[in-house]
Structure 1
Amino acid sequence: MLELMIVAAASGLAGFIDAIVGGGGLVLLPALFAVFPTAHPATLSGSNKGAAIWGTAWAARQYAQRVTLRWQALGYGVAAALIGSFGGAWMLTIVNPAGMRKALPLVLLGILAYTLAKKELGREHAPRFEGRREAVLAGSIGLAIGFYDGFFGPGTGSFFVFLFVRLLGYDFLHASASAKLMNTATNAAALVLLISKGHIWWHVAAVMAVTNVIGSLLGTRLALRHGAGFVRGVFIVVVGALICKTGYDAFLRG
């Protein structure tokens, strides 16, 4: 019971962070690994995604009701994200992702430095492309980050947000709303694969799903109320925290 309470609380906080800007894996995955240290990484990933998909889907629905989304481009992005995530999850079942740990904090540091240097980045919603070009770019983002999410995962939502802002010209609010659709797709594809391999604890995932949705509801309301500037600020904080956590795991943990 104590173990379930700990991971349920972590899932609620993860849902809150994910709904605003992504990065909930920073909270939930380390909690799962700490509470269940002997479990297979794929099983913990499956249980994590079994909870997170409910929060991201709820956030996507809430955003879609209040934010105008670029549905044609996002349709291609979602389809590509499904394929990429399925492939990444399959890779996770046969290859240990430990080799990515040293590169991740360096990539995140570059993203943070760029965001801080470009003070107007993501404050105005001014999509750069239309039609096929936007769809191709959205699909490329979905395929690449989808594979990453299925295989490794931490910071997926933040990567989606940054690329939608930097490459497609969205503001942080529209980028976060779009990222929720993509993240729901990546969670779904990876979850199907992991379930087929038996890598999920249903009782743990069910409890975490409830608190994840509650956290997601609160986070979505805050983001919609305060707009792109607020989401940008949270993005900077979350990426900074991800750098600290992933850097510690990669270079300092024994």
Structure 2
Amino acid sequence: MDFFDVIGLLTAAVAAGWVDAVVGGGGVLLIPVLLLSFPHLPPATALGTNKIAAITGTATAAAMYARRTVLDRKILVPAAACAVPAGALGALSAATVPTAYFRPVIMVLLISVALFVALRPNFGTQPLAREVTRRRRVIAVLLGGCVVGFYDGLFGPGVGTFLIISFTTLLATQFLESAAMSKVINASSNLGALVVFAVQGNVLWTLGLGMAVGNVTGAMIGSRMALKKGSGFVRTVLVLVVIGMVTKMAFDQFA
């Protein structure tokens, strides 16, 4: 690994941290660069090492959001508690579930999300006049903590997007508040997955901690920009990131 590989990896880590802090999806940027820098690195080790950067970045973003936004702890605490074991279970299942089979499904879901958001300009940028019932709260906990948490450990792309859309729809929050909540869940599922990868010996700690420095830097910049610019900014970035993720997944699927 030469000097330019180091610079490229750190740059990718900063960019990934920025994307993760705003809407999620930074792994789509960082993991390919990691594999390019270390072409003989097993995919499981790349995923495990990336989790160090991901968890530090999302935790940093969550802390910064918590200072400036109101987070519903009655939802976040149980959802985060569910996300840890769900993320671990997803990571355990990753070796046995071929991602090529469900990648097209995720692509269709992401395209649907992008179209839905693009065609509804007020969605997520203005408060929804909707009663948040107990049933909606329970669904938000189960969907965000268990289902999406499991998916994060299993595969990952689009986790932030799915969480933001789920919380905005179910809890009538704006994109900024939904993004803040998603960081807590994402950090929790990353923690569960990281434990599994570490036990399996699929984590390069020194490399991961180095990437974490860049990821935290990007997360601080991204969360500050999101807090300053608001839900409209988050909405725009979400659509752009979804387009990028779908393009990357289509290339992986059909190239």
Mark yes or no: TM-score above 0.5.
yes
| Residues 140, 167 of structure 2: 8 Å contact kept | no
2:84 maps to what in 1? 82
1:238 maps to what in 2? 241
TM-score (norm 2): 0.93
1:92 maps to what in 2? 94
Q: Which amino acid aligns with 2:32?
A: P
Hey, what's the Cα distance between the residues in 1 that align with 2:97 and 2:136?
A: 34
Shift of residue 32, structure 1, vs aligned partner? 1.8
Q: Which amino acid aligns with 1:36?
A: F
Hey, what's the Cα distance between the residues in 1 that align with 2:149 and 2:195?
A: 14
| Residues 136, 171 of structure 2: 8 Å contact kept | no
CA RMSD of aligned residues (A): 1.6
Matched, 1:12 2:17: no
Hey, what's the Cα distance between the residues in 2 that align with 1:111 and 1:227?
A: 20
2:61 maps to what in 1? 59
Shift of residue 133, structure 1, vs aligned partner? 4.1
Matched, 1:227 2:225: no
2:144 maps to what in 1? 141
Can you give the 5+ residue segments of structure 1 that lack an aligned partner in the other structure?
Answer: none
| Residues 19, 180 of structure 1: 8 Å contact kept | yes
Q: Residues 43 and 168 of structure 1: is their aligned pair in 2 closer, same or farther, counting only changes over 3 Å?
A: same
Can you give the 5+ residue segments of structure 2 that lack an aligned partner in the other structure?
Answer: none
TM-score (norm 1): 0.94
**Count of residue pairs brought into register by the alignment:** 252
Hey, what's the Cα distance between the residues in 2 that align with 1:209 and 1:110?
A: 32
Shift of residue 125, structure 1, vs aligned partner? 3.4
Tell me which of 169, 183, 191 is aligned to 2:186: 183
Matched, 1:213 2:216: yes
2:153 maps to what in 1? 150
Shift of residue 147, structure 1, vs aligned partner? 0.9
1:41 maps to what in 2? 43
1:113 maps to what in 2? 115
Identity %: 37
| Residues 85, 149 of structure 1: 8 Å contact kept | yes
Q: Secondary structure at the match of 2:147?
A: helix
